[in-house]
Each structure stands twice: as C-alpha cells, then as structure tokens.
Structure 1
Amino acid sequence: MLDNDTSNNNNCNPQKLPLGDLKFAFSGQDGVRRNIPALDEHWVRRGKSFASYVCMMSSYGRLKFGAALEEWTFAASNCRQDMEFLLSLTQHEFWSYMVYEESAMAAVVTFLQRANPFYRQTDASTDKELEQANRLYGELLDLVVRLIMRLCTGEESDSEWISPQQHSSLLYTNYLISVPMLFDLLIAVGDAEPANVELLRQIFDKVLRLQPEYRKDLKEALTFYESAFLSMQIQVENEGCEGAGGGAPLDADLETPYDDVVLYAMDSAYTLRLLLLLCPELLETIEQLRLPQSIANFYDMTVPMLYKNIYMVNPGAQSLRWLNETRQQFLVVFRRVVSLQMEAGRGQQLVEVMQECLSAQAFVVDYQRQFPLEHDMELLVQRCPNIKNYKVDFVVAGYQKALSSCPNGIMADDMVSNVDTEEEDAEFEDEDSSRTSPQPSPTSNGATRDLDLEVTAVLDVLPDLGRGFIRRLLTRYENSEQAIAAILDDNLPPDLAQMDRQEVYVPPDPQDTQQRQTGLRHYNVHDGDRYDVLTRDQPECIIKQGKGLPGAPRNAEQLLDDKRDLKQLKERYQNYAMVEETPLESGEYDDEYDDSYEALNEGQAPPVSLLRARLQGAAFNSAYEAQDEVEDDDEESSEGGSDAEPAKRNNRDFCENPEVIRARYQQRQMAKYGQKSGGQGAGAGAGSSVVGAPKGQGQSQQTQRSRGQKEAHKSSRANHNRKAGAAFKRSKGMMG
C-alpha cells in the first residue's frame, strides 16, 4: 500500500508530460520516497481477474432460455461491471491494466468472439426476460466499443496523452488491437444503422493511421479467404464431417451436418462486404488475389451443392434461409468490387474479371438477374473511352445469353416447345389427384403451361418450399417469376399466406391409370412396358426362375468344371487338320519319309567322318571357301548333265515334291563324299600317309613328310580352327 499516493490527483501532471515520460512520486511504509513510471505493473491493484463472457446463443442462432438464460445474465452482469471499472480508471492506470493484466484484454477479445452477429437479431417484445437480456447485451456491447475507442485515442486531455510513436507501439506490440479482433468487431456492430458505419469507419481510420503495419496484416488476412473457400468446399464434399477444413463437433446440436459451413460462409460474406465498405483502398489487393473469381467459383460450385445436401437431410432446416442470405451477400460483395473499379476508372481490369467469371454459370445468371450488366457497361464506356467496344459487347452478350438460356431466369413462356403433353392421362385421374395436381392451364398467349417446369424453377430459387404449396401458388400467377416476387416481397393472398409452406405434392398414381386402361392391377415397376411379363406373351427380358440366370452355372464348382470353351476350340482346330487322302496313282506323293527328312535338311553339314579327310586336305589352301563353292558348282553341273530330268523343278508346283528333294540330296552326297572316302581323295591320301606302316617296319618318305607338315600346322588347321569351320558353315548356307 502507498502512504502518499497522488496518482488520482487531477493536478498530478502539471508539466503535461506524455505517458512514456511521466512518473509519480510516493512514500512507502519504510519512508523511502520513490518515483514510479506512469505505465507500470505497480498500478495493477485488482485482486481478481476479469470475468470471461459467455455467448448469449446456445448454438447456431438459437437463444438461451430458462436456467441457461439466467446463468448468462449473471455472467454478463459481471462482465459489465469489469468494463465499467476499466473505463473509470485514469489514463495511466487504464493502459497499465491493458498492458500488464492479460485477463483485461482477454475479456474484451472473448466478448467480440462470442458476440451475437448483427444480422441475427431476434424480436423479444413478447418475452420480458428475453427483452431484459437484449437490453443487457446492448449495454455490454456499448461498453466494449467504448473501450476500443479509448484504446484508439491517444490524447484524452491536456495532461493525459501518449506520443504517437508510443501509442502505435503499445497497440501493435502488445496485440491490444489485431486484424482478427477488427473482423469480430465488424460482425458484432454491423451496418444496420448509419451511426454504426460511421463508428466503425472512425475506428479503422485511427488504427490504420497510427500503425501502417495493420494494412499489411489486412492484405494477409484477405489471402486467407481463398483457402477458406477451398476448406468449405472440401467439408461439403465430405458431408460436413469434422476434420475436412473445420467443421462442427460431432456432438453439437445441429439440424444438419452443414449448419457450421453455412454460418461460416455467411460470416465471411458479411465481413468482406463491410471491409470493402470501410476500406475501399483494398481494391487493388483484392484484384491481385483474384478474390472476385474465387467468389464466383464458390458461388457456382459449393453453394448449389450445399443447397442440395441440406435439402436432402432436412427440407425445413433454418440453414437453407441462411444460405440464401449468404448467396445474396456474395452478390453484393461482387457488386461492390465492380462499383469500386468503375469509380477508379479500371475499365480493362473490370472487363477481364467479368469475362473470367463467365464460366460460373450459376453466378452469372443470378448476378445478371439482380444487377444487369449492360447498365454498368454503358457507364464504363463513358468513363473509359479507350476501352475496346468489342470486349464490352462480348461480355454483355455472354451474361445476357446465360440468363436467357437458363430455365431459372426467363421462365415458362420461352420453353413452350418442351411442354410435356399429359392431357390424355388427365381424363382418367380421380378428384383427389386432380385437386392435388392442377390441370395445365393456358397462358395469356394461348400456350399450355408446364407446371412441373415452373415448380422446378421456383425450387431452384427457394428450395425450402414444398411442391404442393408452389403448385397452389402458381395457379394464382401467370408465371414463376411473379410467384417468386410475391414470396420474396411477402405479398401473398390471405388464403395462401395462411397455408403450410411445406405442403408435399403427391403425384397421381400411375397404377390407377394403368388399371383403367388394361383392367389389371399390377405392382410391377415395368407395368405396361416391353418388359411386363404379365401383359406380354413374349417380354423382351430374361425370366428368372430360382437362383442365377438360365443356362448359367449354379455354383462355383459347376463354373470351374465348365469345359465348353475348350471343346469348341478343339472342334474348330480339328477341322483344320482334316486332309483328304488319295491313292498314289493320282499323282500325290507318299509321306512316309517326312519325319526322317526333317533331320536331312539341305543346309545341314555332312557327318564328321566324311568331312575329316576333306578338311585336312584343304588346310594348305587359303581360298578354301571359293574352291569349295567352285567344286560344288562343278559337281552340281556334272550331276545335272547326267541326270537333269529328276532334279528339274516344275515351276507350276506350289511345293516341290519331297521325294525329288531327297533323291537329289542323296546324289549330291554320294558325288561329293562317296568317291573320296574310298582312298582317292587328297585328304584321304594325306590321312593314310600320316598313318604310315606299323611300328618297327619303317616309314616311307611321304609318310614322314606328311607327319612333319601336320606337326607344323596343327595349331592353325586342327580341330580348334574355328575359322575353317565358320567358312564351311557359310558355304552351306548356315549363317550364325
């Protein structure tokens, strides 16, 4: 405790020093006088931490009631006292608490994170407790906004002020104000009133002027939206499960698994719209990040998938209305980007963006229906005369064509040619079905309306309505456009306004019409068609009796034992093997030697015993191949001269007679090797000369000469001589 604390004295800063230079003197219990800086942890005297705020809504837009509402009222009252305490402090004490007391700033951030969205306001005029709770919440929100305004204010009086350098450092270094907190402030305050917009603009202007680093943080925050769109798309494709880029807890009180995705998309759309409203200078950053194209793709791919999935799970879910609101906000965001580009004179960039978005047909149709592009392009051409007209005309024509070709845009009058004629079946419908399904009514130009087509068009815009209610509504209006306008403007006739909007349409039973036409009552899905086995003697289908199809195996064993395919192949190739046999007198050859002839090919080398003498005799001849070929030609010519008739081939024969080939081959073998093997050849003579007489009887001079030649040349002309063997094989046509 301080003995002489003068901090609460209004004249404690007579020199009017800034907060960073200001010090206070006091005397402690020990009598020592000290100087304490104005911004110091010493001034944090509160014994308990600041209370944390609890959200007023239980989950997903549903307010608390009963005991839960009483608990919230108690927690909100404590938070209000804490905020009033902070606002009642002097400047140096206030900044000391905000800098050195973590729970003080955490209470402000927690409130903004758990605040009620400005677009989710409820009417509590009938419930007194809820009305008091709303009043308490409004007071608490006002206190938090005042706290943020005080954080942005550097000069409170002549004696209480902070230098701009220290002010910006305190805000940015200690995270007293951050971009996520500013985004939460946008959703908590909103633009429901002009005063709120002006208040938010003052806060943003002060923050961005004090610390330019916040502009960089804003640009980085905008880059997050691309990944946010992708995360929502993945979560929708994974049926809203947790872990696909976020998602609600599995035990949350949800109407559908996609409620969390829809609320996240709606929060993103409102934040972008307010951010562009307060900071138009972010346009260039948005163009660089291609954020308009990302919005168009998200609108075209994810939003219809969300509609379909939610409607299949729960047609009466509240998230369908939220999604419709989200879709409108994204259109407003894109419209704001277009307006800023036109004001800045960025005509070329605008045309390129609109041209790239042409691929998103759903977005193009809705944008053209709500904000006709031709009006903007006329103003753009006037402001930017240098822009090329053919590009503008192309973009305008593309948007107009997308709207005219879409059945959700120009309704049933343009699609009369696709009307389905059902007048013949209408005569057989009973009164109940006729009341449920009105007859096709003529339009003003005499054409017949297709109610099914118009109902589908209305459901594309308002998928939360029932088909029965839409059919009753279309009987009062000429087309679906007028019906949609009446629903959106809440301008329905009194009798239709009191009807159930979820009324289900029960189509007429085709069994009744079939029974009247045929006199038979069936319950087959193919009644009356070519597959009907009850009305047709020969239906165009296979009639099953028991398990499996007719002719199919009954079990796995029978399937594996099926050898019908092999039998068919065997019969087929047996037909190729059938050859007609005729007597030998008719000119056909005898094929009894065909198997033996396979081993006597014409290019095969003769036995080694017949070749050995010739190879040894040709050892001294360097032109072995040429001499061998000449010798073969001479022998063949001599054979041809002696017996030319059997060797002559008839050119008219498709294949030469094997008997003739064998005879010619045997003649050639005998002519080549028969005489030489008898001892008259040079090779044979050389062999016998080398052998000589028996040992001890003396050898002739020729034998000794032959043995010397063999010893001298055995390394080049012995069995290891591969060159001679290869030459012999080439002479016989055996290449390899």
Structure 2
Amino acid sequence: MACARVPLDEQQVTERDALGKERSLPALHPDRKEERFFMPYVPLSEDPSPAEVEEFLERGRFILEDLEWLLTLPHDKFWCQVVFDTSLQKCLDSYVHHAPRGLDLAPVPLSPVAAESQRALHRAVFFAFLRMATHKESKESFITPAVFGEVLYENYLFDVPKMMDLCMLFGKGNAQLLHKMIENIFTQQPSYYRDLDDTVPTILEVFDTIEEKCGLHCDAAAAAQPMKLNARKQLTAISMTQQDFVDIVLYLCDTSSTLHAFLNVFPAACATFHSHSFLCRLTSFYESVVPDLEKALKKRNFDDKSLREDAWRRFSHSCRRMLETAHLLLHHTCLQPILEGVENMQTFAEELLQHFTSFLSEKRFLCDYDKLFPIAEDVSLLQQALPVIDETRTSYLLHGVHSAWDSMGRCKPQPTVSSSQLANHEIMCGASLSIGQDVREAEGGRESPKGAEAMLDAPRKGSNGATCPVSEAELESLLSCIRDLLPDLGEGFLIACLQEYGYDSEVVINNILEGQLAPGLDALDRGMPRPVKETLPGVLCSRSNVFDDDEFDVFRRDRVDMTRVWKGRRKGESVEELLNDKQHISEQRARYQAYQTVVDEVELQAEDMAGGAAGVSSSYGMGDQYDDEYDDTYDMNQVGANDLDGDSLLNRRPFTLPRVLQRANKADEAEDEEYQEEDQGLQRNMNRDQFIQDPALLRERVEAKRAAMQQRKGIRPERPSHVVGCPKGQGQTLDTFLDRRKKEANKGRGANHNRRNMADRKRNKGMIPS
C-alpha cells in the first residue's frame, strides 16, 4: 500500500504478479493500469435520423460510465490510467475537438434525452481535466510539483491549443476554476510559456491566410513582377465559391472566439502576445478584412437562406470578439499597471497613448472599438491617475476619434452608461452576439461546468434609442439596407422593428436573424405592408380662431345678416351725428367714478367690535365684512400717503426710485462714508511736515482696503500662480505642472488668438510640413 505523506512519484507498492509472486513497483507504473477501452466522442449531425440519435445516446452512455469510473479511482490508480492509457487521451481529445461550441447550435433543438446526455458528458469531461490539472488532492494524495510538470509536459496531457479549446468550451461560467487550473499548469511547468511564445506566430499566420484567401494580401516579391497573361486571377470574397466563403467565415469565427476565451481566462498570456506586437497586427487585419467580408455578405446570393443567416451571425460574433481581444490586451498590459500604481506608470501611460494614436489610421477599427469601449473614458481615467499627462496630446487624440466618426459617415452615440457598463454596448459591424451558457448546477458539493449547448444572449435595444428621430430619407436608407439582406420582409414590419430598437439597423438585422425579437414584434405579420399615410384635413376644416361660431362665421353659417354688413359710410348716417354721439363716454363715466372713492380710516361700530369683525379700507364700502383672502398689507400702513411734503400722494404720484436701486445706493453710500472716514483718519494721522507720502506705504494701505472690501463681499483672493517654477534642473512641483497646463490651454483667449489650434488644423490638412 502507498505510504502516507509521501509524494506519489516516490511511493512504492507491493503487488502479486500472474504467478503469485510479490514484487515492488513504483506507484506510477504501466503494469498498474486497468485494461479498459474508452470510446471516442462522435457529435450528432444537424439533421439526425432516429438511428443516429440512438447511436449517439448509446455512445454517450458508454463514455459517461467510463469517465465516472475514472473519477472514482484512488489517486495512484487515477494517474496510472491517465498517463499510460492512450485510449483515454484519444477519448478526451475527441471531445475537445468535436464538442459543439456556442455558435454550433443545430437549427432543430435536441430532444430532452439527447440534451441531458450531452450535459452529463460535458460535466464529466470537465471534471476529468480538472483532476488532471491538480497535483495535490489532499495531504496524503499529491505529486511533487516539479515531477507533476514533467508528467504533464512529457506525456502531452496538456498543450497550448488544448488549453485554448478548454477555455472556449468551459470558460463561460467556470472562468475561476479554469483560471486556477491553467495557472497551476503554467506555474508548475514554465516550458508552456515557451510553447505559447511559439504559438503566437502561428495565429498571426492565420490572419495572413485569411487575407490571402480574400485577395487582400499580396507577396512583395510577386507584386514587384508583372502578372502573366495566363496566370490565374486572384479570387476575392465576392468571386470565390460559396463553400470557400463560408469556410473563411467559420475559420475566422473559431479563431477569434478561441483566442478571446483564452486571454479572458488566463490574462497572464497577454504579455506574451504583446511582445509579438499582436495588437498592431490585429487592428490592421480588422481594418482590411472586416469591410471586405461585410460587403461580400451583403452582395452574395446564397442558395440557402439559413446559410446566409448563420454566416452573418458568425461574422458579427467574430467582429465583437476581435474588438474585445484588443481591449483585453490594452487593459492587462497598459491600463492595469497604471491602476495598480506601479513605479514606472509614466512608461505604461506613454505606451497606452501610443497604441491609441496608432488606431487613428484604422478608421473602421477605431469607430467600432470606440463604440464598444469609449476611448474618452480611458483617457479621462489616465488623466486622473497621472495629472502630468500632456493635455495637447490627449486633445489631439480625442479630436482624431471624432474625425474618424465623421469620415466614416456615422453618428457617435452619446454616452449614457458608466465605465463599469461599457461591455454592454453594440458595435457597428453587426449585432452584439455574445455566447452564453446554461445555468450553473451543483453535484456532490462540486461546482458544475456550463454545458456546451450554449444559448445566445437576449437582444439589446439600439444605443441611440428613441431620442434620435430620423428623417424620411434616412428611414428609406435604413429600410433599403435591411431589405438587401432580408428581401421577404414587409416594410411595415421593418418600420415597427426600427421604432422598437431605436432605428439601429444592425440590431434589427441581428435580432431578426436570431429570432430574438420582442414578443410584440414576434406576433406581427412579417409580410405586413407599409401603412398608408393619412391625408391631412384641409386648411379650412382645421382653422381655429377667436371668431369661430360668431354671427359672421361664413364657414359654419349658411345665412348671415347682411344688413349689418356695409362698406364705407352707411346710408342715411351723417358724420356730424356720429361725432356728436357721446354715449360710449357716458357708459365709462360710472366705472371711473368708482376709483375716486378713497377712505383713509374706518371707524368700528360697537356691534362690529363685539362680534370680532373688522372694517377694511377698500372701495367696497364701509359695511362690507372682513374677508380672510383680502390682502390688507397696506390698509393700516399709509405708505407715503400722509407725507408732509406739500403734495399728497393721493393727488400727484411723485417719482419713486426702485427698491433695488435704493439698496444699492445705500450700500454704496455706506462704503463711500467708510472710505471718507478712513481717509480723514489717515489725513489726521499724517505728518503735516511730510510733503509726499511713502509710495510703498500707500500701496500697502490700498491693498489692505481692497482685501477688507473683498472679505466683506465674500470674494476669495486669487491663488498665487506657480508658472515660473523652480530654476531649470531642480525639478518642478505638481502645482507648477498644473498651472503651466492651465496657461497652455487658456492662452488662446488672449493675444495668441487661438494660434495653437489653427496651427494644428493646418498641419492636419498638410499645409505645414511636419
């Protein structure tokens, strides 16, 4: 039996051979392996027959029983089986290679029995790999770390491509377990870092291959020679066969998804990719391939509509994964060290700005990246961490981002979310398709992995929402863009979808292809025609003014009293009689006589005093009762009415200065009096023999007066400027850097007259050689 507290690689066991003789063997020995055959995994086809489904279930049951038997073995037996059983490795490798990914879902969902078999098999495979990556299970069951690394590396139990596939299969929802697993493998066997370094050029060759197949990459030596007449013409994404085009899209989708999953689970690998200038190559690849493939998807005629939808879905997913991969590389190699506060933060900040500046030449990539991960927020975060960053350079960078949006003819969405929600944005090149996984399950107290049969995320509404209404021409352009891809849909249905998703055609196309429309849209008829415009009512029918329904309204009355309508002077009427008619004056005389009745004081009657009622000074008379809602502010206070100035306010209203001006004048008078008193006091204290006072003393007094006045008015004194700073070579303080940057930013307001901005503008247009 194995000895306690001894590593497995140092243990010796005693067993009997076939003849019954006892012999001592190492714990890891080929003779201790059990004879058992593990069947390889075979996936289910897209349109399986009942016989194929039955075969899939039976094969899955055999593999599941074998893996469960493997997981129940003790520590020494498990490693003997893993290291020396070749059929087990072939079984696990076949599942890693052929297991369905998130975008490989069949159009027809699996039956409940087949889906349950796939989930159970998926879980068992994950636990087998998890146990293989653990060198210490308990205090008694463990392997020496150095020996563990050699066992993994020499027996090819793990390699870099296999770890990438594991991240793709099990990464969603199990990122922490996978991170610990892969980190333990790289820690115990550093040779995997060398393998990873050799893998990056292979991935770059994938990009070159895709560009070459699309006719976008040309060898320099071949380009220097003239093309022969009998040479075969280079195929493009539009002219190649349909099968070749679909294969390129599948190849791109698989590469981008696997790479993003691996870097997301194991961020330490970002440094290796960064050392090969992978980010620069990724941006140039995106800029050249994505527009070409998108154009081909719109113009090609596919034999099967479902094939076109699947290609568009995979292409959109690939675009998003490439942008997220670029963000991971920037975050873990440049931005994360700055946030952690390392010593050489200035170097990382310079490198980050250098990458952003290099993006300015890649217009399409820059716009899509900025829509998904706004560059302005990263620059703002950088300025907060390092206030000494050159503001001219950052403003130039942000101006270049806006210029890229304008040059692409696209409107930059307004930021409506915080930086922690940046990953929820959509990109221009298609819908935001992120691969989800099924719900986490628990079994035996262990964390269960996600199933391979992932579900697509729910659709998102457009970023511009309902706050961006479009004109008639823009609506026709959006409808034309969608109908180029989906010609069988009616315009009425498409208009309803655009209204629901904020007139974002990419989101509408994606949700229609994925069948993820809102319930209200899903219930509509997809061939619904465009609604007919309602004819507006006539101007005469919709007129509305103050003369409606009067006796001369000819639009609503058939008969009008024409005796009351005449032109010029009425017959039988003289001008003298019309001028002598003063009836309107008599009617107004009684109204204006009421204003002459003014009562200054009202004597209270005895019965009014007993009842608690009070008379008021008003034009309503002395017998009126007191009204609670009546404003009696000025009734008891005769403001200015009884002044002994020879002319009563009741007879002639004198000129009254507004109250605001009176306050201001009083304040000014008080200040003037104060100053006069101070001046008089100073003059009294002056030496009469002194002909001229000391100018320094005068300036000190004036400064003291100004400071006292500012203190009374609550004015804060200006902070002293530190623009001059210390002498050259002695270093500058943070206040000096901030004041100089403020002066640099605001000097265009004075005599420079925006000279710096206009010079940058001329240089950008090529008018000034740089």
- TM (norm. structure 1) is 0.54
How far apart are the structure 1 equivalents of 2:504 and 2:119?
A: 39
Pick from 139, 147, 158 the counterpart of residue 128 of structure 2: 147
2:309 corresponds in structure 1 to 317
Deviation at 1:51, TM superposition (A): 0.7
SS at match of 1:160: coil
Structure 1 match to 2:152: 171
Aligned partners of 2:529 and 2:280: how far apart in 1? 38
- What SS is found at the alignment partner of 2:175? helix
Local SS of the residue matching 2:486 = coil
- Mapped pair 1:266 → 2:253: yes
Confirm whether residue 339 of structure 1 aligns to residue 331 of structure 2.
yes
Q: CA deviation at 1:120?
A: 4.4
For residue 50 of structure 1, what is the aligned residue in structure 2?
Answer: 38
Contact 1:266 1:325 in 2 (8 A): yes
Q: For residues 169 and 444 of structure 1, what CA distance do their matches in structure 2 show? A: 61
Q: 1:238-283: CA deviations, max 9, x gaps?
A: 99xxxx99x9xx9xxx974322222222222222322232232333
Pair member with larger Rg: 1
Please tell me whether the aligned partners of residues 492 and 528 of structure 2 are also in contact (alpha carbons under 8 angstroms): no
Q: Which secondary structure does the structure 1 equivalent of 2:377 belong to? A: helix
| Residues 1:281 and 2:268 aligned together | yes
1:666 paired residue number: none
Partner amino acid for 1:190? G
| Residues 186, 486 of structure 1: alpha-carbon distance in 2 compared, 3 angstrom cutoff | closer
Looking at structure 2, the residues matched to 369 and 470 of structure 1 have their Cα atoms a distance apart, in angstroms, of 28
Change (3 A) 1:320 1:110: same
Q: Which residue of 1 aligns with 2:82?
A: 98
CA contact (8 A) 2:16 2:22 kept: yes
Q: Secondary structure at the match of 1:399?
A: helix
Q: 2: distance between equivalents of 1:76 and 1:473? A: 44
Q: Deviations over 1:344-372 (max 9, x none)?
A: 22221122212222222221222223333
> Deviation of residue 173 (structure 1)?
1.0
What is the CA–CA distance in structure 2 between the aligned matches of 1:402 and 1:357, rounded to whole Å?
10
Please list the CA deviations of residues 461-517 of structure 1 after superposition, one character each: whole Å capped at 9, or x if unmatched: x9743396468635886899624377267666946863448999xxxxxxxxxxxxx
Partners of 1:319 and 1:29 in 2: CA distance? 60
Structure 1 residues 600-634: Cα deviation after superposition (integer angstroms, max 9, x where no partner): xxxxxxxxxxxxxxxxxxxxxxxxxxxxxxxxxxx
Taking the aligned partners of 1:14 and 1:475, their CA distance within structure 2 comes to 73
Shift in CA distance, 230/73, structure 1 to aligned 2, threshold 3 Å: same
The aligned counterpart of 1:221 is: 199
Structure 1 equivalent of residue 403 of structure 2:
401
Aligned to 1:623: none
CA distance in 2, matches of 1:14, 1:445: 77
The reply to whether residue 292 of structure 1 matches residue 313 of structure 2 is no
The one-letter code sitting in structure 1 at the alignment partner of 2:40 is S
User: 1:119: how far off?
Assistant: 4.9
Question: Structure 2: where are the runs of 5+ without partners?
Answer: 218-233, 339-347, 414-466, 531-770
Following the alignment from structure 2 to structure 1, what is the Cα–Cα distance between the partners of residues 158 and 468? 62
Alpha-carbon distance between aligned partners in 2 of 1:476 and 1:89, rounded to the nearest angstrom: 57
Alignment of 1:30-41 (within 5 A): 30-41=19-30
Is contact 1:201–1:278 with CA below 8 Å preserved after alignment?
Answer: yes
Q: 2:213 aligns with which of 229, 235, 246?
A: 235
| 1:659-670 correspondence runs (5 A) | none
Deviations 1:667-688 (A, max 9, x none): xxxxxxxxxxxxxxxxxxxxxx
Q: CA 1:449 to 1:87, structure 2 compared with 1: closer, same or farther past 3 Å?
A: same
1:352 aligns with 2:354: yes
1:383 paired with 2:407, answer no
CA distance in structure 1 between the aligned counterparts of 2:66 and 2:53, rounded to whole angstroms:
20
Structure 2 counterparts to residues 497-646 of structure 1, below 5 A: 498-500=524-526
Q: Distance in 2 between matches of 1:446 and 1:308?
A: 24
In structure 1, what is the equivalent of residue 186 of structure 2? 208
- Residues of 2 paired with 1:80 and 1:116: CA distance? 17
Q: Does structure 2 retain, via aligned residues, the 8 Å contact 1:208–1:214?
A: yes
Q: 1:28 to 1:364 in 2, by over 3 A?
A: closer
Deviations, residues 82-109 of structure 1 (Å, cap 9, x unaligned): 2122222222222222222211112111
Given residue 51 of structure 2, which amino acid in structure 1 is its aligned partner? A
Is the 1:87–1:147 contact (alpha carbons within 8 Å) kept by the matching residues of 2?
yes
Letter in 2 for 1:130: S
Q: 2:491 and 2:407 mapped to 1: Cα distance?
A: 23
What amino acid maps onto 1:465 in structure 2?
A: L
Q: 1:374 to 1:410 in 2, by over 3 A?
A: closer
CA distance in 2, matches of 1:503, 1:342: 51
Cα separation, 1, equivalents of 2:17 and 2:472: 97
Summarize the alignment of residues 639-718 of structure 1 with structure 2, pairs less than 5 Å apart. none
Aligned residue in 2 for 1:111: 95
Contact 2:5–2:140 (CA under 8 A) maintained in structure 1: yes
| C-alpha contact (below 8 Å) 1:454/1:480 kept by paired residues | no
Could you say which residue in structure 2 is the equivalent of 1:73? 57
8 Å Cα contact 2:83/2:155 also seen in 1: yes
* Per-residue deviation, 1:386: 3.9
- TM superposition score normalised by structure 2: 0.51
2:371–2:412 Cα contact (<8 Å) kept: no
CA distance in 2, matches of 1:268, 1:499: 38
* 1:256–1:317 CA contact under 8 A, matched in 2: no
Alignment coverage as a number of residue pairs: 438
Alpha-carbon distance between aligned partners in 2 of 1:75 and 1:221, rounded to the nearest angstrom? 34
Aligned pair 1:365/2:367, yes or no? yes
- Corresponding position of 2:2: 13
RMSD: 3.7
User: For the residues of structure 2 that align with 1:284 and 1:322, how far apart are their CA atoms?
Assistant: 28
Question: Against the structure 1 CA distance between its residues 107 and 480, is the aligned structure 2 distance closer, same or farther, given a 3 Å change threshold?
Answer: closer
**Counterpart in the other structure of 2:165:** 184
Q: Tell me, yes or no, if the aligned pair for 1:18 and 1:163 is still in contact at 8 Å.
A: yes
Q: In the TM superposition, what are the counterparts of 1:297-312 in structure 2 within 5 Å?
A: 297-311=284-298, 312=300
2:505 to 484, 493, 505: 484
Q: Percent identity?
A: 21
Q: Which amino acid aligns with 2:147?
A: Q
Q: CA deviation at 1:203?
A: 0.9
AA at the equivalent of 2:370: Q
- Report the equivalent of 1:576: none
Structure 2 counterpart of 1:401, which letter?
S
The alpha carbon displacement at 1:158 in A equals 3.9
Q: Aligned letter for 2:33? A: V
CA distance in 1, matches of 2:123, 2:202: 30
SS state of the match for residue 237, structure 1? coil
